[in-house]
Amino acid sequence: MASITASRGDSLSIGALSRHTGVNIETIRYYERIGLMVKPPRTKGGHRSYATVHADRLSFIRRARELGFSIEDIRTLLVLSARGHASCAEARQVAAAHLADVRAKQNDLAKLEIILTETIAQCDAQGSSDVTPACPVLEVLQS
């Protein structure tokens, strides 16, 4: 991502922060409410005044969310990255647990694909009638 240059020194509005990071304004506010983002100081007019450190942190959070990390995992990773002496071993543990979750979801999706393929094939075998005595799709969902 390109570096962010603020229009007034080192100050960004929430709209500029949103545009530069690709994160929705309401999501930024949500991250502030749950403590993932530090609330920025406010201008005399009461507007949030973000610095490039906020943009860097928000970009980190956005990328971690894109990779499917949970909010709590991201919170842990942010703590590790903020120490100044990041613990690769601890970050590895978080990533390894996430990888295990991803692999479990992949297995579940593969099973789901088989079930849906078989169910759709059963529908195709019954013909294109709108009304059938037993719909395989509905039966799978009811079981």
Q: Using CA atoms, how far apart are residues 10 and 53, in angstroms rounded to an integer?
A: 10
DSSP state, residue 11? B
What pTM did the predictor assign?
Answer: 0.76
Return the structure tokens found at 11.
Answer: 């100050």
- 20 exposure class (CB count in 10 Å sphere: 0-12, 13-18, 19+): buried
* Residue 36, pLDDT score: 96
* Residue 6, pLDDT score: 45
Could you read off the pLDDT of 67-108 as tens digits, one per residue? 999 999 999 999 998 867 678 899 999 999 999 999 999 999
Could you read off the pLDDT of 11-55 as tens digits, one per residue? 999 999 999 999 999 999 999 999 999 999 999 999 999 999 999
* Residue 103, pLDDT score: 98
